[in-house]
Structure 1
Amino acid sequence: MSDPILIWGAGAIGGTLGAAFIRAGHEVIFVDNVKDHVDAINAKGLKIVGPIFEDVVQAKACLPEDLKGTYSRTFLCVKAHHTEAAAQMLVEHLASDGYVVSAQNGLNERVIARITGENRVIGCFVNFGADYLEPGVVQYSGHGAVVIGELDGRFTDRAEDIYDLMKQFEPKALITNNIWGFLWGKLIYGALLFGTALTNDSIADVLDDPVARPVLRKLALEVATVAAINNIRLEAFDGFDPAAFGPLATPEQTNKSFDDMSVHNRKSVKSHSGIWRDLAVRKRKTEVDAQVLPVVEIGKESRVPTPLAARVIEMIHEIEDGKRPLSMENIEELARLA
């Protein structure tokens, strides 16, 4: 296709992807709701820093209300809790044969599909490290899994087109007939990250902590059990083996997965999660209601109790509201509940 690629959300994920597409020779238009970020991109370009590549790429950027025209390929890269509002706006700019690629965390494909129609959504799993640093500047801090797949498991020409595009960003990108298995696998990993974000310690340090491991294992088991009850075949990625957190996993399997995840995270210059950054640095709401709450809700529908996941949601909200400090004591409290 020759029409521009629309990147809706030019922060950590969207900025990194868009910059890579531009470097590969594609035209990109960024849409973002932060005016200072939009102005910086238009004035000086988008600057990418970090160990993978450093560059300043030139592209048009605009606020959502200023966007004109329709587009065939849209990457939705906003925070999960902004998905519905963003999808309501971008659907007006989808070409008749257009589709949305959800490069986000969570089960946002379900939300987008309610607005655009399921046939206009392509599933996407991303696990690379990136951060928005300041207006006009994004850090690409570490390689990670990138997977594309149709929601119904078919292999289609449009999915192959996006797969080819993603390989220009990440040569090890995959195309799959089981995108839900990756997305639910990431929900388990995401639950672990929310657990690590209850502290000020790095991801790797918490994953290595002997007090944290048992409670994180039980938290992950809740998510894995909800997935299993709903016939989801979980997929592994980046050293994370979701089977290691299932009901049949041995302690040796679980500890090996913790070890592998710790090694993977220690290779990245991004020592803490974006969740922690939202809580400790940016002082803003996290994606907990969009990532963990659906697990609790689906668990209730499936008659699977998820008390640890529910308590993590409460604790994250207390931190967001300034009522709870970031501390390993939060992990110890979860351990008592477990």
Structure 2
Amino acid sequence: MSEAKKPAEPILIWGAGAIGGTLGAAFIRAGHKVVFVDSAEDHVRAINEKGLSIAGPLFEDTVRVPAFLPEELEGVFETVFLCVKAHHTEAAARQLEPHLAPTGCVVSAQNGLNEYVIGRIVGDERVVGCFVNFGADYLEPGLVHYSGKGAVVVGEISGEPSGRVEGLYGLLKEFAAHAILTDNILGFLWGKLVYGALLFATALTDDSIADVLADPAHRPVLTALGREVGAVATATGIRPEPFDGFDPLAFVPDAAAARTAKSFDDMVAHNRRSLKSHSGIWRDLAVRKRKTEVDAQLGPIVEFGEKHRVATPLTRRLVAMIHEIEDGARPLAGENLDELAATAGSSSGRESAA
């Protein structure tokens, strides 16, 4: 095992919203120096004027540290946590690259496979993989709600041990004592892609996550969608890792039906206990009326599917339907899942004919 290298300070949090704000506040409470960067001028102004407030059942506090717009930031930093929405990754990585020390690293605390995007801009050797699944929401300028604990995992993309990842692991344990250091961070990221695809499907409706996953009428199409992602992961040579009670191996091509059914039941139980009845995806569509991360999260599934000759008709259709909701051309309704199921049926029919 490599000797841990303590992350250099101040720690730069690029994206001070739900994930970045929660992590940054926790690091500050643990005694670390932190600097925030965010593209929302009202959020930056609120943090500088009143501090960043964290609300919720796990801890409540107001922390006071400097916050900057990207164009205002000066200096270079060794340790950067990138916490922007997945579809803003490329722009943020280009903005932060001049502020990243030659020996520094970017930790992608985001949804999706953004490590590849960041690596193309700052260099693969300066990227560390990270997986977070805790519950948090940006409520208003200067206020973030931290609603529930969840998986926190860090690891080198290569899977090899290193002093820097040992140090980052120690830092993350100050936020979450259950944090994990892994040699298969891509397995965790792909595991969440399976779960993320299911969450995007639940966001086609106004029903809660648990209600959609529990409905027997919806399970066949959700199973087919999950197995589609699992098939791509398998073809890519990735073994998806379980997290927070979710078993992505229940959706690989040779998974037993009983294992898949149990995974659904476990997801329903988990979401019944959660303070968040709906996903952040649904919140983007129904409440905030803004673009989701669908292209950045589900797009790589299609791309890797094409590369490895795995068909992804359900993922493609789901992406299109989410775009239609974003554009106001499709309402949120249970019938959307029926339409997605019809895609599954027609695709199966074509395969049988072939």
Partner of 1:283, secondary structure, is: coil
Deviation at 1:230, TM superposition (A): 1.0
2:18 aligned residue: 12
Secondary structure of the 2:153 match is strand
Residue pairs, 1:56-135, within 5 angstroms: 56-135=62-141
Residue 161 of structure 1, CA deviation: 0.6
What whole-Å deviation, never above 9, does each CA across 1:47-93 have from its counterpart, x for those lacking one? Answer: 11111111111111010000010001000000000000000010100
Secondary structure class of the residue paired with 2:36: strand
Q: 1:260 aligns with which of 260, 266, 269?
A: 266
Q: Are 2:328 and 1:322 equivalent residues in the alignment? A: yes
Provide the residue aligned with 1:158 in structure 2: 164
Corresponding residue number in structure 2 for 1:192: 198
Task: Tell me the TM-score normalised to structure 2 length.
Answer: 0.94
Q: Which amino acid aligns with 2:97?
A: V
Question: Deviation per CA, 1:199-240, whole angstroms, max 9, x where unpaired?
Answer: 111111111111121111110111110110111011100111
Superposed CA offset, 1:246-304 (max 9, x none) = 11112211111111112222222111111111101111100000010111111112111
Q: 1:144 aligned to 2:140?
A: no
Distance 1:132 1:198 in 2: 22
Task: Give structure 1 regions of 4+ aligned residues with deviation exceeding 3 angstroms.
Answer: none
Overall identity of the aligned pairs, in % = 67
Among 298, 309, 313, the residue aligned to 1:292: 298
Q: Contact between 1:238 and 1:261, CA under 8 Å: does it hold in 2?
A: no
Q: What's the CA shift for 1:96?
A: 1.9
The aligned amino acid for 1:313 is V
Match of 1:242 among 244, 248, 261: 248
State the secondary structure of the residue aligned to 1:33.
Answer: coil
Residue 37 of structure 1 and its aligned partner are, at CA, apart by 0.3
2:82 alignment partner AA: L
The one-letter amino acid of 1:140's match is Y
Note the aligned Cα RMSD (angstroms). 0.9
2:25 matches 1:24? no
Matched to 1:25, the amino acid is: G
Q: How many residues are matched?
A: 338
Q: Provide structure 2 residue ranges, at least 5 long, that are not aligned to the other structure.
A: 1-6, 345-354
Q: List alignment gaps of at least 5 residues for structure 1.
A: none
Native 8 Å contact 1:130 1:270 kept in 2: no
Residues 155 and 182 in structure 2, CA contact (< 8 A), matched pair in contact too: yes
